[in-house]
Amino acid sequence: MKEDVIVQIRDIKKYYGKEPLIVKALDGITLDIQKGTFTAIVGASGSGKSTLLHLIGGLDQPTSGTIRVAGRDLSMLNRDQAAIYRRRNVGVVYQNYNLISMLNVYENIVFPVEIDGNTVDQEFIEEITKLLGLHDKLERNVNQLSGGQKQRVAIARALAIKPVLLLCDEPTGNLDSRTSQDVIGLLKASSMKLDQTIIMITHNEEIAQMADRTIRIEDGKIVTRKWGEPCL
Ligand SMILES: Nc1ncnc2c1ncn2[C@@H]1O[C@H](COP(=O)(O)OP(=O)(O)OP(=O)(O)O)[C@@H](O)[C@H]1O
Ligand SMILES: [Mg+2]
């Protein structure tokens, strides 16, 4: 594997159900992603975007094919190892936020840091919550937040562990255009500072334009790439 490739995907398939009702959510994806880059994934609803992101995040296993992240084959990890891999390396902003409703904003943000037994970098948390406009809402229960506010908490939580890999599923779907641009700016700044790799699903053309590279998925397959370059 080349030194600067952080995610190496080889012919992955993810099928649900059985013939004749089989759903081929992913049907042969091969892709390399370079360390420190920002990749946008675009495609119609149901094309397989979230499925792909979840597989890269080690949240699910492919039906066949391999995924290596930083040289490690994710299929070789058992359940516990996969959980540790995710906690230490991957920040995920889920399409439906996945916040813990019993906890307040601050507790949600630092949860992945504390569960791994690490000390919270208060200065860093203060910096990201300020930039995300959450600093005056830290004590609020997440149930009392708007969709856009929840989305920003999910982003702060993903950043809190300073992940190697930042996987974002429509992180600006509920944000206005100005806030979206600010959030993307923050993610880009963070990725530059911490040498993070960002993979982001978006339906927003303007945001896709801000990425180093755009990958389009249709019916579980990659169809085009920016600048017509090969994926490898
Ligand atoms: N757990 C599951 N069981 C069966 N089918 C599934 C499951 N999860 C996803 N699918 C199917 O796999 C396909 C891809 O789903 P996926 O969620 O990856 O789409 P998506 O591109 O993220 O769409 P959207 O833009 O609407 O979020 C869809 O046809 C979906 O119905
Ligand atoms: Mg999706």
**pLDDT score, position 205:** 86
**pLDDT score, position 68:** 95
Mean pLDDT for the chain overall:
91
Span 175-201, pLDDT tens digits: 888 888 888 988 988 899 889 999 999
Atom of ligand 1 lying closest to residue 220 CA: 14
| Distance from chain centroid for Cα 37 | 13
Q: Is 12 exposed, middle or buried (0-12, 13-18, 19+ CB in 10 A)?
A: buried
Dist. CA 130 → ligand 1 center (Å):
34
- Secondary structure of the chain: what % helix, strand, coil (to 5)? 40, 30, 35
Which backbone phi and psi does 76 adopt, to 5 degrees?
Answer: -85, -10
**Which single residue is written with the structure tokens 């994710």?**
74
Ligand closest to Cα of 60 equals 1
- The protein residue whose alpha carbon is closest to atom 8 in ligand 1 is 51
**Which single residue is written with the structure tokens 């975007």?**
49
- The protein residue whose alpha carbon is closest to atom 13 in ligand 1 is 25
Going by pLDDT thresholds of 50, 70 and 90, the confidence category of residue 1 is very low
Question: Any idea what the CATH number is for the domain that residue 218 is in?
Answer: 3.40.50.300
Q: Look at the chain and report how many structural domains it folds into.
A: 1
Q: What percent of the chain has pLDDT over 70?
A: 95
51-60: average pLDDT: 94
DSSP structure class, residue 21: S
**pLDDT score, position 3:** 56
Going by pLDDT thresholds of 50, 70 and 90, the confidence category of residue 27 is very high
Tell me whether residue 232 is in a domain.
no
List, chain by chain if needed, residues with CB within 6 Å of any ligand 1 atom.
16, 23, 25, 43, 45-51, 95
- pLDDT of 41 above 50: yes
Expressed as residue numbers, the domain containing 42 is 5-227
Going by pLDDT thresholds of 50, 70 and 90, the confidence category of residue 135 is very high
Tell me whether residue 104 is in a domain.
yes
Dist. CA 26 → ligand 1 center (Å):
9
**pLDDT score, position 87:** 87
∠ Cα 49 209 54 (to 5°): 20
Tell me whether residue 39 is in a domain.
yes
Residue 89 has which token pair?
């390396």
Tell me whether residue 123 is in a domain.
yes
Do 55 and 130 meet the contact criterion of CB atoms below 8 Å apart?
no
Do 214 and 195 meet the contact criterion of CB atoms below 8 Å apart?
no
Dist. CA 169 → ligand 2 center (Å):
7
- The protein residue whose alpha carbon is closest to atom 26 in ligand 1 is 45
**pLDDT score, position 130:** 93
Q: Pick the residue with more confidence: 225 or 11? A: 11
Span 205-232, pLDDT tens digits: 888 989 999 999 999 999 965 554 555 5
| Most confident residue range from 61-65, 82-86, 203-207 | 61-65
Tell me whether residue 22 is in a domain.
yes
